[in-house]
Amino acid sequence: METAPYLEALEVSLGHIPEAQEEIVKAKQYCLRRHWFEMSEALLRALRFPDVLSIAYDFHKYAILPSRADFSPFTYSKLLYLIVFSEPDAKDGSKAFEVLDGAAASMVANGHTQGTHCVNCIRALANMSFGSVLEAKRLLDIVSDFVTTLQTHEVDPLLLALLYKSRVQEYELGRQYTKFYQTAFDVVNYCERSEMLLLEPEMSALAYKTVIAALLSPETFNFGRLLMFVPFTNRLKDSSDAWLLQWVQLCNDGDVSGFEAFCTVNTEVIRSIPDIAESLPRLQEKVRLMALLHLVFYTPAEQRTFTFQTIAQRCSLSEDTVEELVLSALALKIIEGSIDGLEGLVVVSWVQPRVLSVAEIRELAARLGSWLDVVKNASANVTEYIKLIPQ
């Protein structure tokens, strides 16, 4: 079957979905005029409708395959992504890998190097879906090595979007929470830049998993970026997982008593997440470390000598366990300083920088305003003293 007749038949069958039908009409007209870029974009928009996505492999065979050599390699990659994952309940990946094999051969034949690596990323995602994690990692390492040979502006945003999407899947499977947390934001940013649609269920799932990764990451002690990342927070606050956002906020503020009270009230829902339930003791230590960081960060640099009693009160622990907490913070390199066990003092010379929320920025601005007033007063006093000096 030729492309135009197939699109004409599809147009008739989509009479109950005017928007999808309109895109098919456009694709047919562009096909007859040999306007390949416009045709591929119309096909991409049509494929996002569930009724078209349900016949994705036929759609590829009759509407895309005959003209793919004339399509942009990046638009074709977006089409491939939708097609390969159009059957989430597939028992094996035979159809997906057959399509990807042909796509890779076409990319190579047409000299589309970055397009070939886009296909490698989609293949890696497919491999992970069907249990071949090592093969997926091998492919992603090849793509990463290629990307490092280019300047940032030389890499198409779609390739980076697909690479980061693949990496977060790899990190999730490997329970690499820190890397997952660090990479999740890039997925959203590069998908937006490349105009690669993240479906609502994908975005909601990514937001949820990023919060879990933030809590479980052994190296993440500030959630400011997450709490200000609107694509995630908007979805969480209006969902059944809104409690997670509140819990993360308590942890970010180093509110130990609030965090523990929240755990007590929400025990059942917290224990419904196996990774969280398993790591609850470590999370309780983490919130105390974040309380220590909060204390240090908001104390002026020249006043960062703390008694064990001050730290114990702020972190909700006994004085005889303060030294252990501070040693953990030093070992994790989130503060630098020294401990005087005899005097019961902790001197902090450096603290890990924080990504500040709007409220925290306002608080810091107020502190800077107070400091400026002190400087002005000191300057005025010096001026007055100078006037008293005999000339």
Per-residue model confidence (pLDDT) at position 340: 93
Per-residue model confidence (pLDDT) at position 354: 83
Per-residue model confidence (pLDDT) at position 389: 72
Is position 364 within any domain? yes
Q: What is the DSSP string of 211-222?
A: HHHHHH-TT---
Is position 368 within any domain? yes
Residues 6+ apart with CB under 8 A from 76: 40, 64, 68, 103, 115
pLDDT in tens, 183-239: 999 999 999 999 998 888 899 999 999 999 999 999 999 999 999 999 999 999 988
Asked whether residue 357 carries a pLDDT value surpassing 80, the answer given is no
Full residue range of the structural domain in which residue 327 is found: 302-388
pLDDT in tens, 42-53: 999 999 999 999
Say how far apart CA 375 and CA 381 lie, in whole Å. 10
pLDDT in tens, 137-160: 999 999 999 999 999 899 999 999
CATH number at residue 316: 1.10.10.10
Quick count: other Cβ atoms within 10 Å of Cβ 370?
Answer: 11
The pLDDT confidence band at residue 301, using thresholds 50, 70 and 90, is: confident
Residues 6+ apart with CB under 8 A from 174: 133
Is position 347 within any domain? yes
Is position 142 within any domain? no
Is position 353 within any domain? yes
| pTM above threshold 0.85 | yes
pLDDT in tens, 229-281: 999 999 999 888 999 999 999 999 999 999 999 999 999 999 999 999 999 99
Is position 93 within any domain? no
Per-residue model confidence (pLDDT) at position 88: 87
Say how far apart CA 126 and CA 85 lie, in whole Å. 8
* Domains in the chain, number: 1
